């Protein structure tokens, strides 16, 4: 048993040494966990931020300009006034997601209580922003109209006063979500490719075969790859969360980062095992490259880090339960956003471990067969 650890340890050190020789790779890893996470977090907004809005103002009244002034950063870009004839073209090119059309005599009709209408043209292909943004604009129009009317002595009647508050993230700032999800997605891609390609390369060079003539078991070779590469990814992810997410982006993290990293280690075991399994299935590096695409793209787009998991059809949800990333995303959201503890997330941790075990066993079973096909 002791020998096992020793072999795994030495082979792992070799793994780290050889990775650090590949300068481009090192630069890429640093890039994905710093610059990429930063720009992803600041650029991708599920909340309405900086939404492009334009106004066709045919009234030019006090009310219309108050509405216009109320559409403000950070939710909206300062609206531009455009001509009616430009509406279609600007929406076509996706330059604005919302265009308000304020009819002539809006203010006069309001004061006469004739119930005028404001039309909002929404580019509904922007599925993430269209509905939420429309609700914002409606709310703003209502508020401005109400305060305008109050000055003139009218009074709208909604019988109750809903108070909506958000826990864990009072202002619903999307950056908190996208920053840490960015880290998670990078972990997935890196783990699959780094480890899978490392196994593939050893296959193509014949070094794995050479190891098997020595007193080394296949399990030791794989375990070494898993720990060494996982450690590098784990350190990078920890750095990214502490420094990039917490310090640079100033995102408060509700839960314990250390607990999150412990869960990440479990996840890495599962994904690196999957990477190895892919490497034993493919026959050459180009095949591995193509095989890995659907795997990591599905893992990062369908596991709930972008779209709400429950919006997927049930059959797809069932399929995605086999992906460790689904459980990891759920684990990460619980821990990072809501400060959940082991009592809440242990099922996800258990499933990830089990999935990793299955992948690794399958990879080991394929290992000898793969060497045979190499000849």
Partner 1 sequence: MSADDESVVRIEALHHRYDATVALDGVSLLIRPGSTVGLIGPDSVGKSTLLGLIAGVKRIQSGAVLVLGGDMASRLHRDAVAPRIAYMPQGLGRNLYPMLSIVENIDFFGRLYGQPESERRRRIARLLTATGLDPFPDRPAGKLSGGMKQKLGLCCALVHDPDLLILDEPTTGVDPLSRRQFWELIARIRTERSGMTLLVATAYMEEAERFEHIVAIDEGRIIADDETAAILARTNANTLEEAYIALQRPERRGDQTALVIPHLTHSDAPAAIVADNLTMRFGDFTAVDHVSFRIQRGEIFGFLGSNGCGKTTTMKMLTGLLPASEGRGELLGKPVDARDIATRMRVGYMSQSFSLYDEISVRANLKLHGQLFRIPAEELDARVKAALARFELTSVADALPPTLPLGMRQRLQLAAACLHRPEVLILDEPTSGVDPAARDRFWRLLVEMSRRDGVTIFISTHFMNEAERCDRLSLMHAGRVLAIGAPDELRLSRGGRSLEDAFISYLEEAAAPPAAHTTSAASASTDEAARRTSGVPKSEPSPERPRQHRPLTASLQRIWAFARREAVELSRDRIRLAFALLGPLLLLVAFGYGISFDIEGLRYAVIDRDQSLESRLFLEQFSDSRYFAQRSPLANEFDIDGRLRSGELRFAIDIPPGFGRDLLQGRQPQISFWLDGGNTFPAETARAYIQGAVLTYAADRHRRLFGRDSRLLPINVEPRFRYNQDFRSVFAITPGTIMLLLVLFPAMLTALGVVREKEMGSITNVYASPATVGEYLIGKQLPYIVIGFVSFISLVVLAATLLGVVPKGSMLALSIAALIYVFAATAFGLLVSAFVSTQVAAIFGTAILTAMTAAHYSGFLFPASTLEGPGRVMGLSFPALWFQTVSLGVFAKGLEASALIREIAVLLGFGILFLLLARLSVRKQGV
Contacts with partner 1 in 253-282 (CB under 8 A)? 254, 282
Q: Does 153 bind partner 1 (CB under 8 A)?
A: no
Residue whose CB is less far from partner 1, 286 or 357:
286
Q: Does 294 bind partner 1 (CB under 8 A)?
A: yes
One residue of 17, 322, 342, 354 binding partner 1 per CB under 8 A:
17
Q: Does 1 bind partner 1 (CB under 8 A)?
A: no
State the DSSP code for 17: H
**At CA 98, angle to CA 93 and CA 102, rounded to 5?**
120
C-alpha to C-alpha distance for 337 and 252, rounded to whole angstroms? 9
Beta strand 80-81 pairing with 98-102: unpaired
Report in angstroms how near the CB of residue 284 gets to partner 1 at its nearest.
8
Stretch that binds partner 1, among 19-27, 242-250, 260-268, 358-366 (CB under 8 A): 19-27
216 CA to centre of own chain: 39
Query: In the window 156-195, what residues touch partner 1 (CB under 8 A)?
Result: 156-170, 172-174, 176-177, 186, 189-190, 193-194
The dihedral formed by the CA atoms of 203, 277, 8 and 266, expressed in degrees to the nearest 10: 150
Residue 152 dihedral angles phi and psi, to the nearest 5°: -95, 5
Query: In the window 301-360, what residues touch partner 1 (CB under 8 A)?
Result: 301-302, 306-308, 310-313, 316, 320, 330, 333-334, 336-340, 344
Residue whose CB is less far from partner 1, 321 or 337:
337
Contact 292, 192 (CB under 8 A): yes
Report in angstroms how near the CB of residue 36 gets to partner 1 at its nearest.
6
One residue of 58, 70, 82, 212 binding partner 1 per CB under 8 A:
212
Report in angstroms how near the CB of residue 26 gets to partner 1 at its nearest.
9
What is the 3-class SS of 261-320, one letter each residue? Answer: HHHHHHHHHHHHHHHHHHHHHCCCHHHHHHHHHHHHHHHHHCCCCCCCHHHCCHHHHHHH
């Amino acid at each position: 048993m002791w020998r096992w650890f020793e072999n795994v340890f030495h082979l792992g050190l070799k793994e780290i040494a050889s990775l650090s020789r590949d300068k481009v790779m090192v630069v890429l890893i640093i890039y994905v966990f710093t610059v990429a996470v930063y720009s992803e977090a600041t650029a991708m907004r599920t909340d309405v931020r900086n939404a492009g809005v334009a106004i066709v103002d045919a009234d030019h009244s006090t009310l219309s300009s108050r509405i216009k002034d109320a559409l403000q950063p950070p939710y909206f870009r300062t609206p531009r006034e455009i001509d009616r004839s430009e509406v279609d073209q600007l929406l076509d090119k996706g330059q604005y997601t919302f265009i308000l059309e304020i009819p002539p005599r809006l203010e006069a009709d309001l004061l006469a209580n004739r119930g005028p209408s404001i039309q909002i043209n929404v580019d509904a292909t922007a599925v993430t922003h269209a509905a939420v943004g429309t609700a914002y604009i409606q709310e703003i129009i209502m508020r401005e109209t109400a305060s305008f009317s109050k000055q003139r002595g009218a009074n709208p009647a909604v019988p109750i006063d809903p108070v909506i508050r958000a826990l864990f993230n009072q202002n619903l700032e999307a950056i908190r979500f996208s920053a840490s999800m960015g880290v998670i997605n990078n972990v997935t891609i890196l783990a699959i490719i780094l480890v899978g390609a490392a196994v593939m390369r050893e296959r193509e060079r014949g070094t794995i075969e050479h190891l098997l003539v020595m007193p080394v078991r296949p399990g030791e070779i794989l375990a070494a790859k898993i720990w060494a590469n996982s450690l590098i990814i784990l350190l990078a992810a920890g750095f990214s969360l502490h420094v990039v997410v917490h310090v640079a982006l100033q995102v408060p993290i509700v839960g314990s980062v250390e607990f999150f990293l412990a869960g990440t280690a479990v996840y890495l075991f599962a994904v690196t095992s999957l990477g190895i399994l892919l490497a034993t299935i493919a026959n050459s590096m180009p095949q591995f490259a193509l095989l890995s695409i659907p795997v990591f793209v599905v893992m990062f787009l369908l596991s709930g880090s972008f779209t709400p998991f429950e919006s997927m059809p049930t059959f797809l949800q069932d399929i995605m339960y086999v992906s460790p990333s689904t459980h990891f995303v759920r684990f990460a959201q619980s821990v990072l956003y809501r400060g959940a503890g082991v009592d809440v997330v242990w099922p996800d941790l258990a499933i990830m471990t089990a999935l990793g075990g299955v992948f690794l066993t399958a990879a080991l079973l394929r290992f000898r067969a793969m060497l045979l096909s190499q000849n």
